[in-house]
Each structure stands twice: as structure tokens, then as C-alpha cells.
Chain A
Amino acid sequence: MRGVNYPYYFLAKALKGIKRHLFLNIVTVVIITFSMAIFGIFSLLFLYTKGVVDRWEERMGISAYLEEGIDRATLKALMDRIRAIDGVEGVRYISKEEAYRLFKRELSSLSDVVEDLDENPLPSSLEVRVRSGMEVEGVERIAREIGRLKGVEDVDFGGQWLKRLATILKLFRVSLVALSLFLFLTIVLIVSNTIRLTMFSRKDEIEIMELVGATERFIKMPFLIEGFLQGTIGAFTGALIVLGLHSAIFPKLGPFFMILSGNPSPRVPMAGLLLFMVLLGGALGIAGSSFAVKRFLEAA
């Protein structure tokens, strides 16, 4: 004999529970809102930093400075060997003369210094392009390999400082994960506590439900919905705060990003982040309430 409109019935019971402990529920939702907003803001900061570092990584290349007087055959063999290295996309030879021209053009203010010299001090070199999106470690590995080849005097991949930055980014990622875990645990515990109080206030009702033959699922469902609503509403308002702050601050950061990465508006998956926050909030709410319900029913 089926027929009760269960979703409606459970939702009505859940809303009744929220209404009965309205203040407590508001406090819970506010805490979830701020926790999720903090999570969202830090995730955004991380995504932007990662965007900048990725762009730098994309433009990373290797300069292999050649020994003086390298002959044509050695040079050709060297270029072929470099091309054969996994991750190398292309190699370009820059002669001493071209290096001199480039130096004068790019650093015109210093050209006088070079002109005062008797001979061209710049070495010939090979500009090595690596596969785009390769991480600093990969580029460094290729640079070391090139450095060991015959005819190569020195190698520079301009990424020592980028490596440091990547380490900082990794540290940022670890901190973000730790902070997130802390915030998520807070949310689970606060939802769990609120639901436990609601359950205590409806202790008699739950006891009677058990006595008349209600299944555990039937008893649990309104409380799970209550936790889900707390989590989702809290996360939704948290997402709105993140969106509001982003809209207010981001447009002013264009020049800053331009200097950092040559792109005034790096793209971050904003919609994805906000949707993730809301879904995560709901999931954490269910987790918190499941925890409370399980403990309560086991103790009963």
C-alpha cells in the first residue's frame, strides 16, 4: 500500500524541524556561509596564482650556450640529439652575430657597453622550445640533459626562480587542502550538532515511529533533508559572497595581472567553482546529519 507523497512529506517535516529551531538553524547556516566563503576565496586565489604560473611555464624555454669555435658538423649532430630528447618541440640556432643584434635591440640602453668592447662577447647558442604546459621539473630535466652534451658550454632555462614559485604554489595547494579539510570538518560537526538537538527535541516522536513500525529510512529522511538544506543554503550564500567579492575586486586587478603574466584577465572556472561549492555544501550537510542520525539511533 503506497501512496503517501514521500518527498513532500519529508520536506514538510524537515521544514518543521528548521522552524522549531530557527535561531539555531540560522546560526548554523551563517557559519556554513562563512566557511564556504573562506574556502571559495582561497580557491580563487589559488586558481589565479596557478593561472599565472601556468602561463609562465608555457613560455619557458632553454638556452644552450655553445663552446667557442664549434664546427658545423658538431653543431648539426648536437641539434639532432637535442631534437630527439622527449619533450623538445624545436631547436633554433642563434649565432654570435644574431645574439649581438638581439641584445642591442632588446636592451638598447646597454648597447653602448657592448659597442665599447673590441669584440662580440656573446656566445652562439641554441634556443630550445619545450612542449607547452610542461612543468618546471620536466624543463629542468631536459636542461640538465642538454648541459651534458658535447659542445654545450652552459645551459640556462630561466626557471630557477619559477621552480621556487612552483614550490610555493605546491605549498599553497597543501595549505588550501588543510584549510578546506578544517572548514569541512567544522561544517560537518556544526550540522551534526544542530541535527542532534532537533532529534533530541523529537525523541518521543522517533520512539513512537520505531514502535509503530516505521523503517529507519523513514525516520532518518527528514533529518537528512534538514542537514542538506542547511548545507546547501549556507554554501549558496557563501558562493554569492565569493561572486560579489570577485565582481567588485577582479576588474581592478587587470594591470596587476598584466604585469605578472602579460594577460589582464586570466580565466578561472568561476561558474564551476560556485557550482562545486553549492554541491559540496549539500553533501557536507548530508554527511553531518547522517553522522548525527546514526549516533542517535544507535544510542536509542
Chain B
Amino acid sequence: MIRLFRVSKRYPEGVTALHEVSLHIEKGEFAFLTGPSGAGKTTLLRLLFREERPTSGQIIIDGRNLIKLPRKEVPFFRRNIGLVFQDFKLIPHWTVYENVAFALEALGTPPREIRKRVLRVLGMVGLHGKMARKAAVLSGGEQQRVAIARALVKEPKILLADEPTGNLDNEMACRIMEIFEEINTRGTTIVMATHNYELVSRYGNRVIGLDRGRVVEATERVAEGT
């Protein structure tokens, strides 16, 4: 599903964010991207949703080579990718429903279909009863669940999450993880960047460790029950 071949990213100021990273993430996998701040986690995710292009190397996602992807194809590529960020990226003066529905409006989905799908994902993240509330009045955990709902409502093949639990307390972080696990069991490939090692060890998923732009650790998913 996701393949990287010797991907490097250097910025004009001379900073090397990633150095010859090669990776292969299978369809349906749930991988943690770990490492300290500045390890290159966010840069790697930004390359995966084509917010940036690598300086060298190749990135193949769902059969598409991102290096050769023309600019005007990028929106269509992103329709298969759900994105969740640490800072939620919600429109605070919009309601929960509007924030989620917006992702489908932008894709030209018919209103009836939008309503059906928004209600379904809001149910999934447990916010059915709060859909008329403004995003600004929700707690951090609730806001992140709205952001997840917005990412999921497009029914993406891949979910990329950048420190989704970074601003949340432990209890809320666990609730978010439960939702991710559930999405993953339905077949969505998930790549989640985090520096919360406790969370990583608790879930036993595949771990891709980054340090100063290089892959330093790559474990397979720990088998159930071991």
C-alpha cells in the first residue's frame, strides 16, 4: 500500500529531515511512526499526503508514484487519504456536523449521501448527540474525535495521523486508540506518528522508529496474545 525507496528530504536551509528512508507498509497494517521531536515523523507524513515532495527517492502509494503525480491530480489522490492532526484543524465556529460534512461537500457528494455518512461516522466516534454544537465548545478529546470523523467520512483507504493524542489526557488517548483499532479492523491502513512510547508498547503494533531522519528501528506487529 505504501512504499518508500531511499527517500530523502533536505530543506534549502541545509537541514536534512529524512535520509534515505526505505519502507513498506502493507494494506490493512497499523504502523506507529515513533521518534523524538525533530526525528522526521511529520516530514514523512507530509510526504505521504503529498504536501511536500522528497528531494530524492520514490514514494508509491496505492500504485501511484507521488513523485510523478501532477499538481492537479493531488486533490484526487488525497480523497483516498484521511488526515488527523495534533491541533485538530477544525473550523471552531462551525458545528460538529458542518465540520464533518464539509469534507464531503468539497468532493461534490450529494446532500442526502452526506447526511447519511456524517451521521454514521459521528455515531462511530460517539458524537452523535453533539452534532449541533460548535466545535469550539467541545473538549480536546471530542474535537479530535470530530477530526477523526471528518477523516473517516470519506471512507479513505489510508489514515495518516500526526500525534493525534498529543494534546489529550491518557483516558482520551485510549478512547482515540480504540477508534483507530476499530477502523483498522475494517481494513483501513493506518500510519500514526507519536512520541508516546507508553501508548506504542501498550498496543503492540508495528513500530517504525525514526531518529535524525533515519529509520533506526522497525518491528513487526506483535502477534495477538504474545
**Interface residues of A, Cβ cutoff 8 Å to B:** 1-4, 6, 9, 204-205, 207-216, 218
Contact = CB atoms under 8 A, between A and B. Distances in A.
Contacts of B108: 1-4, 6, 218
Interface in B124-140: none
Given A212-B78, A213-B75, A216-B72, A3 B49 contact: no
Interface string B146-157: 000010001000
B91 interface: yes
Given A207-B89, A208-B89, A213 B79 contact: yes
Contact of A4 (B49, B89, B110, B150): B110
A210 B81 CA distance: 12
B91 A205 contact: yes
B109 interface: yes
B96 to A, nearest CB: 14
Contacts of B102: 208-209, 212
B111 A3 contact: yes
Interface residues of B, number: 24
Interface string B84-125: 000001010000000000110111111111000000000000
Contacts of B72: 215-216
B114 to A, nearest CB: 8
Interface majority SS (helix, strand, loop, mixed), chain A: helix
B113 A211 contact: no
A273 B75 CA distance: 43
Contact of A212 (B91, B106, B113): B106
B113 to A, nearest CB: 7
10 smallest beta-carbon distances between A and B, as pairs: A3-B110, A214-B106, A213-B78, A213-B79, A212-B103, A213-B75, A215-B75, A4-B108, A209-B106, A212-B106
Given A1-B108, A213-B106, A215-B72, 12 more contacts: A1-B109, A4-B109, A6-B108, A207-B89, A211-B78, A212-B79, A212-B83, A212-B150, A213-B76, A214-B75, A214-B107, A215-B76
B105 A9 contact: yes
A211 B83 contact: yes
B106 A1 contact: no
